A and B are shown apart, each in its own frame.
Chain A
Amino acid sequence: MQLLAASAIDAYLPIGIVFVMAVIFAIVNIVASQLLGPRADGAVKGTPYESGMDPIGSARKKFNIRFYVLAMTFLVFDVEIIFLYPWAVTFTQLEPRSPEALLFLGRILFFIGTSVVAYIYAWRKGVFRWD
């Protein structure tokens, strides 16, 4: 009986091990310093740092919408890039200058083009301007 067969999912086993090791490393270190470090508290000590003065107002205020718009633009691109990877692997295996390759190229150019339109729109709208 072979539990560890040559299936694709088994190859990820070491990654799982690293993940567990990373979690243990992080937790052990933090717990160790919790146990070993001194503890003291006070009214002034607990103040969030604001250059030595009492903080003025809350730190959790509304912030600029630009970050949100930027994150949306990022999502558009990130998802697009992920789709490009399988295409890139397949595309290189095709015969150069064959009609099939031309079709692949045309498709992906159209696909990138749609994102570029959104990109240019965002650019003209000033999403990337921070003033």
Chain B
Amino acid sequence: MPYTLSPDETIGLDVESTEYLKDHVQAPDRWVLNFGPQHPATHTTLRIVLELDGERVARATPHIGYLHSGFEKLGEHHDWNQWVCTASRMDYVSPIVNDIAWHHAVETLFGIDVTPRCKVVRTIMAEIGRLQNHLLCIGAAGLDLGAFTGFLYGFNEREFIYDIVEYVSGQRFHPDWTRVGGAWRDLPDDDTFVRMVRNFIDVRLPKAITDLETLLNRNRIFRDRLEGVGTISREDAIAWSLTGPMARASGVRRDVRKDEPYLCYAPNWDGEGADPVKFSVAVGSKGDCFERYLVRMEEVKQSAKIIDQLIHRIPKGSMNVGADSKAVIPPKGDVYGSIEGTIQLFELVMHNRGWDVPVGETYTAIESPNGELGFFVVGAGGKYPWRVRCRPPCFMNYQCFPKLIEGHQLADVVAVIGSINVIAAELDR
């Protein structure tokens, strides 16, 4: 027993220690300021200890862990389907992307190739998740600078995304939608789904993009606040292993969708020689906050383009892989009507049974809105994963925060945090 957590005993673990202050210059004209965890602009609970010289930030020390929930450890005690509920709660700004990323990794481990229908719907939902994230982040770029209206212009449209997610998965916010080999249910009605997505892509989104661009792109104050702030060069971006819009704004041509294609981004995704979806990857060059905003804005348009290509090509057929894969719960009719179906159901739901898991490991990543979201999964043949490790894009992107902010001003702290789009739940897991 290394230590106990009973309150009357000293556990020798002082989480509020100020030891790190020894590193700071203790000059009389320097201020050390806690920025977070309870602060309106640090999106959820981030803590940054700032050493200020006047308005300038001389040193910034991010402290993480205020939202640590042991998600990865939970993964060792949840089965391959259950943990999707936890994964959903990591990047809560675009939860459906986490679902898809987790089961993409699991299916890679299992060696399952999902049906074309599932691939198309997952791709559409992944891009809708990207829109969901970017609409918030673009709006928040204005909100952090005090322009509240732009934030709501973006945020309003997310309501329609919630509607679509609810229609697909049954839950508005945390969908917990995917399952090994497919999804927990098929689309209730293809036509309604197509109509909802079309309405969003053709009517709502262009209006929101126009509103936001009109409000922000040529706004002198907005540009003066963001241009040249939080700059990171291409070499540094690679060295700090940044991904996603952060890296692309610095000129790093890296997009998992192009480099290691999956789902409908891969060629021949339907087994009949279908071309991968066509889209461009926005790459900036300056690497400052404004460039990140522009890259996100461009990605919104590209996402709409991808959805536009796929929405009328949803193949008919089954959402889940066939029963012979022994990965999915068969339809109710099969359970009651055939002995194979009954056996398959019991194989999956009985406590001492489960999936036929290969002993092995995989690291599989997809391009989440914030960058490369990868899962390292180790299967040991049992019902549960032996180890689950997540590579959250925020964690990697946020670590270069001191590099971005030091030497800039106090007001730039919020602008930089906003442009990194730190999501604490994903950061701390």
B29 near A55 (CB under 8 angstroms)? no
Most buried by B among A52, A54, A64: A52
The CA-CA distance from A57 to B24 in the complex, in Å, is 12
Closest residue of chain A to B56 (Cβ to Cβ) is A131
Q: Which stretch in B31-39, B79-87, B193-201 binds the other chain?
A: B31-39
A63 near B35 (CB under 8 angstroms)? no
Contacts of A53 in B (CB 8 A): 16, 34, 37-38, 47
Closest residue of chain A to B39 (Cβ to Cβ) is A51
Q: Considering the complex, which residues of chain A in the window 81-131 have a beta carbon less than 8 Å from any beta carbon of chain B?
A: 130-131
Contacts of B238 in A (CB 8 A): none
A61 near B39 (CB under 8 angstroms)? no
Residue A3 at the chain B interface, CB threshold 8 Å: no
A61 near B29 (CB under 8 angstroms)? yes
The CA-CA distance from A61 to B32 in the complex, in Å, is 11
Residue B49 at the chain A interface, CB threshold 8 Å: yes
- Residue among A54, A61, A131 making CB contact with B31, cutoff 8 Å: A61
Q: Considering the complex, which residues of chain A in the window 31-69 have a beta carbon less than 8 Å from any beta carbon of chain B?
A: 50-57, 61-64, 66
The CA-CA distance from A64 to B28 in the complex, in Å, is 11
A56 near B49 (CB under 8 angstroms)? yes
Q: Mark B93-134, 1 if CB is under 8 A from A, else 0.
A: 000000000000000000000000000000000000000000
Residue B18 at the chain A interface, CB threshold 8 Å: yes
Residue B274 at the chain A interface, CB threshold 8 Å: no
The CA-CA distance from A123 to B36 in the complex, in Å, is 37
Residue B235 at the chain A interface, CB threshold 8 Å: no
Residue B55 at the chain A interface, CB threshold 8 Å: yes
Closest residue of chain A to B49 (Cβ to Cβ) is A56
Q: Considering the complex, which residues of chain B in the window 296-322 have a beta carbon less than 8 Å from any beta carbon of chain A?
A: none
- Residue among A51, A61, A63 making CB contact with B38, cutoff 8 Å: A51
Contacts of B31 in A (CB 8 A): 57, 61
A66 near B32 (CB under 8 angstroms)? no
Contacts of A130 in B (CB 8 A): 54-55
Contacts of B54 in A (CB 8 A): 63-64, 66, 130
The CA-CA distance from A131 to B58 in the complex, in Å, is 12
B56 near A52 (CB under 8 angstroms)? no
Kindly provide the distance from the CB of B48 to the nearest chain A CB, expressed in whole angstroms. Answer: 9
Q: Considering the complex, which residues of chain B in the window 23-53 have a beta carbon less than 8 Å from any beta carbon of chain A?
A: 28-39, 42, 47, 49
Q: Mark B45-75, 1 if CB is under 8 A from A, else 0.
A: 0010100001110000000000000000000
Contacts of B56 in A (CB 8 A): 131
Contacts of B49 in A (CB 8 A): 56
Contacts of B36 in A (CB 8 A): 51-52
Residue B21 at the chain A interface, CB threshold 8 Å: yes
Contacts of A63 in B (CB 8 A): 29, 54
Kindly provide the distance from the CB of B329 to the nearest chain A CB, expressed in whole angstroms. Answer: 46
B34 near A55 (CB under 8 angstroms)? yes
Known: A63-B54, A130-B55. A51 touches B32 (CB 8 A): no
The CA-CA distance from A130 to B37 in the complex, in Å, is 28
The CA-CA distance from A57 to B38 in the complex, in Å, is 18
The CA-CA distance from A62 to B33 in the complex, in Å, is 14
A57 near B34 (CB under 8 angstroms)? no
Contacts of B32 in A (CB 8 A): 56-57
Contacts of A61 in B (CB 8 A): 28-31
Kindly provide the distance from the CB of A94 to the nearest chain B CB, expressed in whole angstroms. Answer: 42
B38 near A52 (CB under 8 angstroms)? yes
Contacts of B28 in A (CB 8 A): 61-62
Known: A56-B49, A63-B54. A51 touches B29 (CB 8 A): no
Contacts of B55 in A (CB 8 A): 64, 130
A50 near B29 (CB under 8 angstroms)? no
Kindly provide the distance from the CB of B415 to the nearest chain A CB, expressed in whole angstroms. Answer: 16
20 example contacts (A-B, Cβ-Cβ < 8 A) are as follows A50-B33, A50-B34, A51-B39, A51-B47, A52-B34, A52-B36, A52-B38, A52-B39, A53-B16, A56-B18, A56-B32, A56-B33, A57-B31, A61-B29, A62-B29, A63-B29, A63-B54, A64-B29, A66-B54, A131-B56
A residues adjacent to B (C-beta < 8 A): 50-57, 61-64, 66, 130-131
- Pairs of residues from A and B, 10 with the lowest C-beta to C-beta distance, nearest first: A52-B38, A64-B54, A53-B34, A56-B32, A51-B39, A51-B34, A50-B34, A62-B29, A51-B38, A51-B36
Given A63-B29, A130-B54, 20 extra CB contacts under 8 A = A50-B33, A51-B34, A51-B37, A51-B42, A51-B47, A52-B37, A52-B39, A53-B37, A53-B38, A55-B34, A56-B34, A56-B49, A57-B31, A57-B32, A61-B29, A62-B28, A64-B29, A66-B54, A130-B55, A131-B409
